[in-house]
Structure 1
Amino acid sequence: MKSPNKLLFVFLMVSSTCMVASSSNWLMTWMGLEINMLGYIPLMFLKENSSESEAAVKYLIPQSLGSTIFIASAITSAYFNNLQTLMVIAMCLKLGAAPFHFWFPPVMASLQLIPAFILLTWQKIAPILAISSFNSLLMKPIMLIAMISALWGGIGGLNQTDIRSLLTYSSISHTGWMLASINSYNIILIAYLATYILINMSIYAFLTKEQINSHKQLFSSKEPMKFFILAITILSLGGLPPLTGFIMKLLVLMFTETKTIIIFGLIIGALVSLYYYLSLTFSTLLSFDKMHLTKTQVTSNQTILFLLSQILPLTLILFFF
């Protein structure tokens, strides 16, 4: 961030998320979501080029539409209970869950890595918390959207060559799992969000340092241990047993209260996502036994990121469960 005023927008973004988490009525929730949107948009401009301006407009219009639908349905739901379903649609539109994700991949494709990381992680917290406060009668449409997101995110990532597009469709798939975890214990939702953010943090820290955009650049380096750690982290994001990402998905399947068809759809979506992650990292993992590794090849920063993304969430899970 080149200018100090970006700290103000970071503060607005963080405080608005706290406002949504602590709100007791729909008006405060709506205000928190609006401040969250307005705090994030200036952070999208790092190089101040035309692609970032285009991404800001593509982000602003669906978010404003979702906020309008949300506050209108919240007001009218006092008289017409059936309109509460529109609140679910509004929040899923802001969240970027399928089939309301039409704005999400184009915005991600036009952003730099740091704003893209914020959009994938922090900007999901406020809508997810708003959805978790909905009436239990609205769980049926939420679970349906969760299944569609998991399937769509898995299928959409199959033909992607840009690493940000791949992580975008992975985020759509993980959004489905987050929505499914709403219908279980609150601690599972919080643990899933924390795990997802930590894993993405390690991946985006690596991508920012190496300036990587495509699959071919991802594992082309003279430091094999660094890329082996990256491969394990990506597979954890995909949910490969027995890594932390798989454990979080297993906890959601164990404790969520939904129909078997929804669980089956979540599993199919996770398997498809794992397929393109395995195809992405397969050559690196096969060639790892031929590498001559030394202690100097593992830098402290990468080791810390790897431990944070894998061991720390696992420790928290064992502590609470």
Structure 2
Amino acid sequence: MKSPYKSLFLFLMVSSTCMVLSSSNWLMTWMGLEINMLGFIPLMYLKETTSESETVAKYLVPQSLGSTIFIVAATTSLYLDGLQTLMPIAMCLKLGAAPFHFWFPPVMASLSMLPAFFLLTWQKIAPIFAISSFNPTLSTKILPIAGISALWGSIGGLNQTEIRSLLAYSSIAHTGWMLASINSPNPTLMIYVSTYILINLSIYTCLTKHSSKLHKQVFSAKEPFDSFLLALSILSLGGLPPLTGFLMKFLVLYYTETSVLIVSMLILGALISLLFYLSLTFSPLLSLNKAHTTKLKMASKPSIMFLISQIFPMSLMFFFL
């Protein structure tokens, strides 16, 4: 696909998300979600291979099913109030939240890094904020899905060897935390989504320099600073204090209004995720010996900015406290 067409579909994807965020009725929300899906699908054809066509089919079917369930539930809820519950469930299907995550890991495993980054980050904005615009009674009914997603995503990532599959199950776990923050005060969900996108951006910046898919081969001894940045970003994604990822999870636990069982599932899922994140990054962090620390001064300015972004917010919080 040529560059001008990519720019057109990228603009379509961004504008449709803004359309969902600013919509005032279900019809406009549904139209924005459909345009968002149609704008993202051409961007998945980065290398134009046969496997990408199969991946597009795996993505298209559940997304279309979710959109169909949403518009049918929205129209029939005028006569049957009980069908309104299907509207947030349809959004959970589009998000890839457990137990509706069957399509998400296979799609992530077959995508290139750039569309995979969009699927992890930008494609979550429209459905998650659509759920936040629902009636609070509807949002409360999907809180069990938040606990299941956080727990299932952490358990599913234990035996993964490919970095994309690992990020996919991590995304499922973080989707549970996003769903848990829906009934919190307004800035909480926005802060969580923004921080999650920032952390994934730093991971994407490091992974674009490596062609290997196995997470044990991603950390390179020739580039110690990039390996250190990747390890730090992964630990921040897992919520290790005092990094930025811990701050966003702390805000959700502080402001969320749910049962003790769901909060326990969120905390247990975070601990399990942190277990395999620590086992993944323990060796690369220890491999930074004195010979490698001299190369840290040669790091680029964007890499230093990403490094500061993982540490600086927590430093500010401790300073003001």
Q: Is the 8 A contact 1:199 1:310 kept in 2?
A: no
Q: 1:155-191 CA deviation, whole Å, 9 max, x = no partner?
A: 0000000000000000000000000010101101001
Corresponding position of 1:3: 3
Corresponding position of 1:301: 302
| Alpha-carbon distance change, 317 to 4 in structure 1, aligned in 2, over 3 angstroms | farther
Corresponding position of 1:215: 215
Normalising by structure 1, report the TM-score. 0.95
Corresponding position of 1:154: 154
Q: 1:126-169 CA deviation, whole Å, 9 max, x = no partner?
A: 00011001111123331100000000000000000000000000
SS of corresponding position for 1:220: coil
1:113-128 alignment, distance < 5 Å: 113-128=113-128
Corresponding position of 2:95: 95
Q: Is the 8 A contact 2:244 2:309 kept in 1?
A: no
Corresponding position of 2:75: 75
Displacement of 1:209: 1.8
Q: Which runs of 4+ in 1 moved over 6 A?
A: 315-321
Displacement of 1:317: 7.3
Indicate yes or no: 2:27 matched with 1:30.
no
Displacement of 1:79: 1.2
2:163 and 2:208 map into 1 onto residues whose CA distance is 12
Displacement of 1:296: 3.5
Displacement of 1:87: 0.7
* Percent of aligned positions that are identical: 68
Corresponding position of 1:20: 20
Q: In terms of mean alpha carbon deviation, does 282-291 or 106-115 score higher?
A: 282-291
Corresponding position of 2:185: 185
Where does structure 1 lack aligned partners over 5 or more consecutive residues?
A: none
1:63 and 1:223 map into 2 onto residues whose CA distance is 39
Q: Is the 8 A contact 2:17 2:126 kept in 1?
A: yes
Counterpart AA for 1:38? L
Counterpart AA for 1:305? F
Displacement of 1:44: 0.3
Q: 1:219-244 CA deviation, whole Å, 9 max, x = no partner?
A: 13222232112111110000001111
| Alpha-carbon distance change, 316 to 292 in structure 1, aligned in 2, over 3 angstroms | closer
Count matched residues: 320
Corresponding position of 1:282: 282
Q: Is the 8 A contact 1:226 1:297 kept in 2?
A: no
Corresponding position of 1:255: 255
Displacement of 1:69: 0.3
Counterpart AA for 1:42? P
Counterpart AA for 1:177? W
Q: Is the 8 A contact 1:105 1:168 kept in 2?
A: yes
Displacement of 1:279: 0.5
Displacement of 1:302: 1.5
Displacement of 1:88: 1.5
Corresponding position of 2:54: 54
1:131-146 alignment, distance < 5 Å: 131-146=131-146
SS of corresponding position for 2:208: helix
Indicate yes or no: 2:197 matched with 1:197.
yes
1:106 and 1:320 map into 2 onto residues whose CA distance is 44
Indicate yes or no: 2:112 matched with 1:86.
no
Normalising by structure 2, report the TM-score. 0.95
Q: Is the 8 A contact 2:178 2:192 kept in 1?
A: yes
Corresponding position of 2:206: 206
Displacement of 1:315: 8.1
Where does structure 2 lack aligned partners over 5 or more consecutive residues?
A: none
Displacement of 1:290: 5.0
Counterpart AA for 2:197? I
2:229 and 2:316 map into 1 onto residues whose CA distance is 21
| Alpha-carbon distance change, 316 to 15 in structure 1, aligned in 2, over 3 angstroms | farther
Q: Is the 8 A contact 2:151 2:173 kept in 1?
A: yes
Displacement of 1:289: 4.8
Q: 1:229-262 CA deviation, whole Å, 9 max, x = no partner?
A: 2111110000001111001100100001111101
2:310 and 2:282 map into 1 onto residues whose CA distance is 20
1:306 and 1:118 map into 2 onto residues whose CA distance is 21
Q: Is the 8 A contact 1:70 1:91 kept in 2?
A: yes
Counterpart AA for 1:259? S
| Alpha-carbon distance change, 58 to 22 in structure 1, aligned in 2, over 3 angstroms | same
| Alpha-carbon distance change, 25 to 276 in structure 1, aligned in 2, over 3 angstroms | same
Q: Is the 8 A contact 1:55 1:110 kept in 2?
A: yes
1:234 and 1:114 map into 2 onto residues whose CA distance is 18
